[in-house]
């Protein structure tokens, strides 16, 4: 679930950055880079875990959802 949260935030951020690219006052370019990097990192983590251990690819639990929002909050604060 945290992969979905971070990927959704990355898509929204890049859309906002493209719409306001002339004056990047809020540094959306950097935030977009951070979120896409986190998305790729989480995707590789899920893929490696799925290939080694098996089981489900996306964990749909409340803990995974909270972790996704905590990671998003951390990226926004950075």
pTM of the model: 0.82
CA-based radius of gyration for the chain: 14
Average pLDDT of 8-36?
A: 88
Nearest to 29 by CA among 39, 19, 41: 19
Condensed to tens digits (0 to 9), the pLDDT of residues 23-40 reads 777 788 888 999 999 999
Q: Are 27 and 77 in contact (CB under 8 A)?
A: no
Can you say whether the dihedral through the CA atoms of 67, 69, 73, 78 is positive or negative?
Answer: positive
pLDDT value, residue 1: 83
Q: Are 10 and 31 in contact (CB under 8 A)?
A: no
pLDDT value, residue 51: 92
């Amino acid at each position: 679930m945290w992969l979905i949260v971070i990927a959704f935030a990355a898509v929204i951020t890049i859309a906002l950055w493209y719409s306001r690219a002339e004056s990047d006052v809020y540094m959306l370019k950097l935030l977009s880079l951070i979120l896409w990097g986190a998305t790729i990192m989480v995707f590789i983590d899920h893929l490696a875990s799925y290939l080694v251990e098996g089981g489900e690819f996306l964990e749909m639990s409340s803990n995974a959802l909270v972790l996704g929002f905590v990671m998003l909050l951390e990226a926004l604060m950075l």
